[in-house]
Amino acid sequence: MKKAAAWAILFLGVTYFVLPLIGMVEFSLSMRRGVYSFDAYAKVLADPQFRQTFSYSVFMALLTIVFGMFLVVPTAFWVRLKMPRMRPVVEFVTLLPLVIPAIVVVFGYIRLFNTSSWLPMTGSTFGTNMLLMFGYATLSLPYMYRAVDTGLRTIDVATLTEAAQSLGAGWFTVLARVILPNVLVAVLSGAFVTFAIVMGEFTMAALLNRPAFGPYLQLMGANKAYEPFALATIAFVITWACMGLIQLVTRFSKHTKAAR
């Protein structure tokens, strides 16, 4: 009885999650009347705007990941090693982006860094790109910090640092050659979440007027019939791939640890 109810609940839930995905894929394949075809995908892939916005977003995502890594790893390391009393504060701050809606943050950017302000970042293309990258870094901060901090928890930071220092390592060597390799898996899973977030982000890019993938998706949705669904399928595959890769790296790391 109980087991049957559990199966029923699970079945209903899975149906709810699978139907929209089927609907999306089905629509994306039905551009040609009567038969399934990849016409919509071909159309999308041939669109120069798709290539531009897609590669722009990929580039921004990679930039955000590199910046986030340089920001988060030393900070989390330093907090663990030297300033454990600051941990609750730093942790609280890193969770703020979940509280403050992205649209509010970017609204603040537009007002704070406009052309007549003390730091006119929105005045140039380069400045706006940097601002968008900082915005993405803020959005991914909760995930990145938590991932790295969890990674640091599993290793003995203080001992490793002292051991490295007594062998003559400077701070850079300690971070780059001792700490980073040990938390690489955590950094990677943070990086994949960041990648998924940046690829799908709409609000910030749209309000800062940058040619990213999210605004392009929305534009296509308003103007085309079948292409948006092909694009949505592509976006879903990207998210799925990122999460799958996280699982893969985590499993891989467990494996190497067990083998030792």
Partner 1 sequence: MSETQLPPPRRRINLNWLGLVPFALFVGLFLIAPTMKIVIGAFQRADGSFTFENIAGLFTPSIIASYWISIKISVASSAIGCLVGFLMASAMVLGGLPNTIRSPLMTFSGVASNFAGVPLAFAFLATLGPLGLVTMFLKTQFGINLRAMGFNILSFWGLTITYLFFQIPLMILIITPALDGLKREWREAASCLGATGTQYWRMVALPILFPTILGTFALLFANAFGAVATAIALTGSSLNIVPIMLFAQIRGDVLGNPHLGYAMAFGMILVTGIANVIYIWLRMRSERWLK
Where in 193-212 is the site for partner 1 (CB under 8 A)? 193, 196-197, 200-203, 206-207
Closest separation between CB of residue 150 and partner 1, Å? 14
Select the residue interacting with partner 1 from 58, 71, 160, 180 (CB under 8 A): 71
Considering only residues 30-49, where is the footprint of partner 1 by CB under 8 A? none
Of 42 and 98, nearer to partner 1 (C-beta) is 98
Considering only residues 107-166, where is the footprint of partner 1 by CB under 8 A? 107-112, 134-135, 137-138, 141, 162, 165
CA gap 77, 83 in Å, rounded:
9
Closest separation between CB of residue 133 and partner 1, Å? 10
> 202, 218 in Cβ contact below 8 A?
yes
Closest separation between CB of residue 122 and partner 1, Å? 12
Of 151 and 204, nearer to partner 1 (C-beta) is 204
Of 51 and 92, nearer to partner 1 (C-beta) is 92
Select the residue interacting with partner 1 from 40, 152, 246, 249 (CB under 8 A): 246
| 55 in contact with partner 1 (CB under 8 A) | no
The SS3 of residue 32 is coil
Considering only residues 73-92, where is the footprint of partner 1 by CB under 8 A? 74-75, 78-79, 82-83, 86, 90
CA gap 223, 215 in Å, rounded:
13
Q: Which residues contact 218 (CB under 8 A, 6 or more apart)?
A: 202, 206
Of 66 and 93, nearer to partner 1 (C-beta) is 93
CA gap 200, 1 in Å, rounded:
42
Sign of the torsion formed by the C-alpha atoms of 249, 173, 77 and 192: negative
| 214 in contact with partner 1 (CB under 8 A) | yes
Size of the site for partner 1 (CB under 8 A): 82
Per-residue mark of binding to partner 1, 91-110 (x: CB under 8 A): --x--xxxxxxxxxxxxxxx
Which residue intervals of the chain are DSSP H helices? 2-29, 39-46, 48-81, 87-99, 102-112, 125-153, 157-166, 171-173, 180-182, 184-200, 203-207, 213-223, 227-259
Of 248 and 260, nearer to partner 1 (C-beta) is 248
Tell me the C-alpha to C-alpha distance, in Å, between residue 159 and each of 79, 126, 142, 156, 248.
15, 42, 27, 6, 29
CA gap 75, 93 in Å, rounded:
12
Of 120 and 170, nearer to partner 1 (C-beta) is 170
